[in-house]
Amino acid sequence: MMIPVRCFTCGTVIGEHYEEFEARASEGDEDPAEVLDDLGITRHCCRRMMVSHTDLVDVVAPYQ
């Protein structure tokens, strides 16, 4: 639904970087790998948290 606050595997706080990652890599045209490096998300456990996440708030909001 919302990006998890921390990486499931290592516990690093990753939630705070999600909006910037979305803006630069998904909506923008930057290379996702370079954006993640730039944000300091270097481990592959943390990177998959960002890359594989889908926000579902807009999907479920009408049924609230």
Partner 1 sequence: MSGEFDVQIIERDDRQARFVVRGLTPALANGFRRAMIADVPTFAIDSVRFTENSSVMFDEMIGLRLGLVPLTTPLDEFEIGDTVTVALDVEGPATAYSGDIESSDELVQPADENIPIVELKEGHSLEFEADAVLDTGKEHAKQQGGVAVGFRHLQSVTVGDDIGEFDEQEPEILRGAIETDEGEVVLTKEFDHDLTNKYPGTELTVEDVPGAYVFHVETDGSFDVAELVLRAAESLGDRADELHDAVTA
Annotated binding-site members for Zn(2+): 7, 10, 45-46
- Distance in Å, CB of 11 to Zn ion, minimum: 7
50 binds Zn ion (CB under 5 A): no
CA-to-CA distance for 9 and 41, rounded, in angstroms? 13
Q: How far is CA 44 from the centre of its chain?
A: 13
List, as residue ranges, the binding site.
7, 10, 45-46
Interface with partner 1 (CB under 8 A): 1-6, 10-13, 15-19, 43, 55, 57, 60-61, 64
CA distances from 45 to 29, 42, 57, 61 (A): 23, 9, 24, 29
Total residues belonging to the chain: 64
Residues in contact with Zn ion by CB under 5 A are 7, 9-10, 12, 43, 45-46
